[in-house]
Structure 1
Amino acid sequence: MYEVALAFSLLIYLGVLTTYLRSRYFSAFHPFTLYCMFHGLVFVVRPVLSLFLDYQYVYRAYQFTPTPGDRTIALLVADLGLVAFAFFAFRPSSGAVEMRFSSDPLLQDERLRLARYFVWVMALCAPIAIWSLAGQFGAAFSNETYADMTLDRSTGVSYNNSGNGYFYEAQLMLVPLTGLIAWVFRFRLIALIPAMLFVLVRAGTGGRGPFVSAMFALGLFYLYQTRRKLPTLNVALGLLAAGALFAAVGQDRGYALRSALGADSDSRLNFESTEPFLGGMDYSNMEYLEYVVYVVPQRSHTYTYFTELLQLFTEPVPRVLWPGKPIGPPIKMFSMFDYGFPIGATWSLPGVGWMGLGWPGVIMLCGLWGYLLGWIYRKFVESDQSAFKVAAYMCFMPIMVVAYRDGLILTVLRQAIFFMFPIVVWMAFARLFRVPMARDLRAAMARIRRRQVIHGEPEGKAAVRATSIAEGLDGLPPAVRRRRLALANRSQGGVA
């Protein structure tokens, strides 16, 4: 029975994937691309390997044994999540739009103007993020990686017991910063050094999600810079390198990198890898989903009814300001730890949907995620794709690397605070220094041309005046004015 369901699951995935690949919507920028990759790895390839290699680690660690019926239902839940995500992600009002790149030369000039003020962003955000990363690397180096975290064994939630959690997570700002540095400075070799250093240092802490997100953001920025919808050979090689590093770090939790810097053998954190190929917990979302089906509602006799969303309101408050802050969601319908020991489990979108309301919950949650992410994608594609909009979208999408796996909107909130903060600071500096944007130039030109029609002002003079008003070019040499005038005239085609 389970083998038949596994074959059926493979056929569903191949059907959805083939349809997507043949559509005009397929590109690296569409949110469904990453979800399709995630689903294929953990819900298609991984279960097939588990069938032949008999992975048992999670079952023993979590102290549960799913029945063949539980495993079959888990496969169908994952498949339903994929179909619901795809169906709603490609609605006409959502993500059913082909990726297009702006051809407005004014936007290229806009990024060059903003680049001068990005240095202020680095000066403000980078020291805090580097200090945070150095603290975590130092803790891992001295075998104290989890010194500031306490595990609540009744809920399985780890929480910060000293200091400030915002500072602890401030290192996540390096994910957008490294990608933005490379993009703003046109992918010169020196602009790639911060990304390389972040990947190595972060890998040395034993954590992998942030450096994978950083590599993904870097790849998206590069594809946008080169106006390509799909990865080039260089990007593909970079992704393979990131995958190899991900696997290597998973084997020793960064011990090899730390030992290369002089850490003694005690900093291995008592970790001895015996994982078979793709047999580690990082790829075990299928087993986690089986545990969800094993518990809900057979043993819990209820669903969560999505009460975990209430944590969105309690999570932003630092524990130091709220000593009695609830651990996890403020309202709990049941605890998954009452039926096993699912430490470190990530429930995924289908799993959270099943916990929320069973089959309807899977359709509701996965469909909502697909629709909203598709809508965000559409808004970006159909926008003027200004420098800030490009930066925001390319830094937002890497959040999904972890969010799809966790299945929680809270993950998006936690990471978006740090992923978007450098961009908000950049926008604040642009406003402070009154940096003219491309839309300002176009608006000024439109006003001057209307004045030209009314007063009969020569067209060339009107264009120069518009450029001068928008960019503050009054008093500059004639050669500069002529270059700006040519740029303004070329921009009349707008966005392709």
Structure 2
Amino acid sequence: MWILPAALACGWVVARYAQGFMGRETLLCLLLGGIILAPAAVRMATGTFDLFEPMVLVTGLYFLYFVVGPLVRFSMDDMVFVGRNFEAAYARGLLAVLVVVLSLWAGYAVPVGPPPGSAAALRRRWDPAAARRMGWGLVLLALVFMLLWARIAGRSLGTFFLPGLFGSMGGGGDGPDIPYLVLAIEWFTPALLVLVIAGALRGLGSRAAAVLLITIVYVSIGFRYRVVILWIAFSMLLYLKAGKRPRLAVLVPAGLGAFMFVGWLAWARLFFRSGGANGGLAFNFGDVVQGGLSDTRVFETFGAVMQVVPQHVDYVGFDPLAYLFILPIPRFLWPEKPLPMWLYDIGGSIGTAESANLGAAVPHFGEYYFMFGWPGMALGSFLFGMGVRWLWRWYQADPGDPWRQLLLAINTGFLFQAVIRGYLAQVFQEWCFIVLPAIVIMRMCTRPAPPPAAGNANA
């Protein structure tokens, strides 16, 4: 019933302030924002709110990308993106997101996964020493692959350490690019978390140094959202280990600082990628805010996709699922390996010269729409909500288990990537590099707990 007064309040705000300009779209944004925030509001009202419930991160991302981003552009009359005015595309796009959010929360309401407390008595024994060895081994393996990639691709190791600041790119860069070698640097994130959970990095100084070094490597090659995943997972794990949650006085400045850093990096990564030849490192507040919100433009690309599919471009059906099995095959083994052509249709749907080589992206439900239209978008979002709920209930089955703490932290951080990028094959590939190593190490260094003694069983 709260939707009715919320609608009346939103209507009054629009009538009072919008004065007809994008009024319908503003009203949709405000209503959408209320529905996005509703589960968190219910949690707070019932005293069950937990900042580390994965739903909270998904809520924040949806609110930033599909409410705050469009409202900022309405207020600044900034509807032009890569040479196209998207004013006519917002209403339909917002209605689609409304369907997505309702489907997402419907899926999240399904109680999938083990009930809370069900796994505590079956907690597996684990060997911290073995976990430490495997964690350091993963670090060493990532370093070896870094060296191999630099050698094969004809690059200097300065590539990984802020080129333009600590040395030039070096090398001609004419060698073949081996993607899986350079992607192995993502192993630093699960390796760090394993070492923390196993007690290898106890001091604040050693932990801060490790996070700083990994951040430098990711920033140097433009992996800005890998930085966000790293920071979310690392900080969340520390709080889970301590059995605490961050206070508002800590969370708000940290969140704003991360937003400003990502916004600055959106401009600065061109400088790093070009070895200092292009771009710059100057900090301009307006540019930084614009850079921080730049990725929310995936809403506009999603609106463009909705306007051309299926009117001019056919649905792709199960092709994104099939590409899960195609992407891992190296092209030198399969020269005729097909390309994920629907990704090229994203930029093509905008229809401007600037968008031709943009590398445009859509949020995760944009790919669901590419597959089967509105039904695919609703069903895909429903299943995504079920998956997020399963992760939370799986953790709640034994919240004191160190491995559940680690896997909740790293999967929650990874949700950032999974939500904002609608390319299932690549998202799964990143999951295999960022999350799967932690799962493998967990399984290798744990053993089933012994059965309780007969006396205890009869007690």
Q: TM-score, normalised by structure 2?
A: 0.77
Alpha-carbon distance between aligned partners in 1 of 2:266 and 2:414, rounded to the nearest angstrom:
20
Residues 180 and 391, structure 1, Cα contact 8 Å, conserved in 2: yes
Residues 219 and 235, structure 1, Cα contact 8 Å, conserved in 2: no
Alpha-carbon distance between aligned partners in 1 of 2:65 and 2:425, rounded to the nearest angstrom:
22
Query: 1:75 maps to what in 2?
Result: 94
TM alignment of 1:371-410, pairs within 5 A: 371-383=386-398, 386-410=401-425
Residues 224 and 262, structure 2, Cα contact 8 Å, conserved in 1: yes
Q: Deviations over 1:228-247 (max 9, x none)?
A: 35656445544443322212
1:278 to 276, 285, 290: 290
Shift of 1:402: 0.9
2:134 to 121, 124, 144: 121
Q: Deviations over 1:69-96 (max 9, x none)?
A: x22101111122122111211223369x
Shift of 1:308: 1.5
Alpha-carbon distance between aligned partners in 1 of 2:33 and 2:269, rounded to the nearest angstrom:
32
TM alignment of 1:23-422, pairs within 5 A: 23=43, 25-55=48-78, 58-60=81-83, 64-66=84-86, 68=88, 70-93=89-112, 114-132=127-145, 135=150, 138-139=158-159, 141=163, 142=168, 162-185=176-199, 188-189=203-204, 190-228=206-244, 233-234=249-250, 236-253=252-269, 255=271, 265-266=276-277, 268=279, 275=287, 277-278=289-290, 281-300=294-313, 302-328=314-340, 335-339=345-349, 340=351, 341=355, 343-383=358-398, 386-422=401-437
Alpha-carbon distance between aligned partners in 2 of 1:143 and 1:269, rounded to the nearest angstrom:
16
Q: Deviations over 1:311-352 (max 9, x none)?
A: 0110121223222211226xx699345542362222113322
Alpha-carbon distance between aligned partners in 1 of 2:172 and 2:254, rounded to the nearest angstrom:
30
Shift of 1:143: 5.5
1:101 to 1:230, Cα distance in 2 relative to 1, 3 A: farther
1:430 to 445, 451, 455: 445
Residues 84 and 366, structure 1, Cα contact 8 Å, conserved in 2: yes
Query: 2:453 maps to what in 1?
Result: 446
Greater radius of gyration (CA): 1
The alignment covers a number of residue pairs equal to 414
Query: 2:5 maps to what in 1?
Result: none
1:336 to 1:286, Cα distance in 2 relative to 1, 3 A: closer
Residues 285 and 348, structure 1, Cα contact 8 Å, conserved in 2: yes
Q: Secondary structure at the match of 1:440?
A: coil
Q: Secondary structure at the match of 2:81?
A: helix
Residues 399 and 405, structure 2, Cα contact 8 Å, conserved in 1: no
Alpha-carbon distance between aligned partners in 2 of 1:319 and 1:270, rounded to the nearest angstrom:
36
Alpha-carbon distance between aligned partners in 2 of 1:88 and 1:30, rounded to the nearest angstrom:
15
Structure 1 residue identity aligned to 2:78: Y
Shift of 1:389: 3.2
Structure 2 residue identity aligned to 1:170: A
Q: Secondary structure at the match of 2:361?
A: coil
Unaligned stretches of 5+ in structure 1?
149-160, 432-436, 454-491
Shift of 1:209: 0.9
Alpha-carbon distance between aligned partners in 2 of 1:307 and 1:181, rounded to the nearest angstrom:
39
Alpha-carbon distance between aligned partners in 2 of 1:171 and 1:143, rounded to the nearest angstrom:
18
Shift of 1:40: 0.8
Alpha-carbon distance between aligned partners in 1 of 2:97 and 2:171, rounded to the nearest angstrom:
34
Residues 304 and 334, structure 1, Cα contact 8 Å, conserved in 2: no
Shift of 1:194: 0.7
Q: Deviations over 1:426-461 (max 9, x none)?
A: 346526xxxxx5x524x1x425757xx8xxxxxxxx
Unaligned stretches of 5+ in structure 2?
1-19
Q: Deviations over 1:289-326 (max 9, x none)?
A: 121122212332x3223422110110121223222211
Residues 135 and 192, structure 2, Cα contact 8 Å, conserved in 1: no
